Amino acid sequence: MIDSQLRTSGVNEPFVLRRMAQVPRENFVPAAGVGTAYMDRAIRLEGGGWLPAPVVQGRMLEEANPRGDEHALVVDGGSGYLAELLRPLVKEMTVISPEDAVGSGRKGKGADLLVIDGAVEHVPTALAKRLADNALIVTGIVTDGVTRVARGRKTAAGVSLIPVFDTGIPQLRAFDKPKGWSF
């Protein structure tokens, strides 16, 4: 995975390669999926979640570029793998499900790093309220059916995201925008 997938796709940050070498992906898939844990595409998990391709999670970790003093909020896409990669790289971490992320809107501790392990149509206000001002956001986004990894910030004006690279990343349906009618 390190030499044939990550390095050849431009994932070369030493801290990312070290963490991905230390955390076995096969521990995050069902027993029947152990033989495919390292393939170059997302793996469907029991319970409806996904384990994105290694390069996606490697690039997301690079974009997060943790300094070690962050309070990270991770929206887990179902596998727990990205949270485990990030855990020793931050001071404190809270892991929530997509359903919790779009839920009550309760204000959290003011996380300064948000990582969403999947593609979203938008970052809802309820989730943004859990972030400190100027918090870094790393997520997948989906626009017109195309998924990308994006990086952005939370400011007083709201959440702003900029696509970083196109990639196949599973969509988290809990973050779909409500469908409506407009002219």
Q: What residue ranges do the domains of the chain occupy?
A: 2-175
In 3D space, the residue among 134, 161, 135 whose CA is nearest the CA of residue 148 turns out to be 161
Contact 1, 11 (CB under 8 A): no
Identify the three-state secondary structure at position 31. Answer: helix
What is the CATH code of the structural domain delimited by 2-175? 3.40.50.150
Q: Which residues pair with 158 in a beta bridge?
A: 155
pLDDT value of residue 178: 81
Residue 77 contacts by C-beta under 8 Å, 6 or more apart in sequence? Answer: 49, 50, 51, 52, 98, 116, 117, 118, 170, 172
Measured CA to CA, the distance from residue 3 to residue 76 in angstroms comes to 26
Helix (H) or strand (E) holding 17: helix 14-22
Distance CA(88)–CA(96), nearest Å, equals 17
Give the pLDDT score at 87. 98
Q: Smallest Cα–Cα separation from 69: which of 91, 51, 48, 52?
A: 91
What integer pLDDT is reported at residue 177 of this predicted model?
87
Nearest alpha-carbon partner for 114 in 97, 99, 100, 93: 93
* Burial category of 143 from C-beta neighbours within 10 Å (exposed 0-12, middle 13-18, buried 19 and up): exposed
For the chain (183 residues), the mean pLDDT of every run of 10, in chain order, is: 90 96 95 90 91 95 97 96 98 96 72 97 93 97 95 94 95 89 71
pLDDT at 32: 87
Instruction: Compute, in degrees rounded to 10, the torsion defined by CA atoms 36, 38, 39, 42.
Output: 90
pLDDT of residue 105: 55
* CB-based contact 124:62 (threshold 8 Å): no
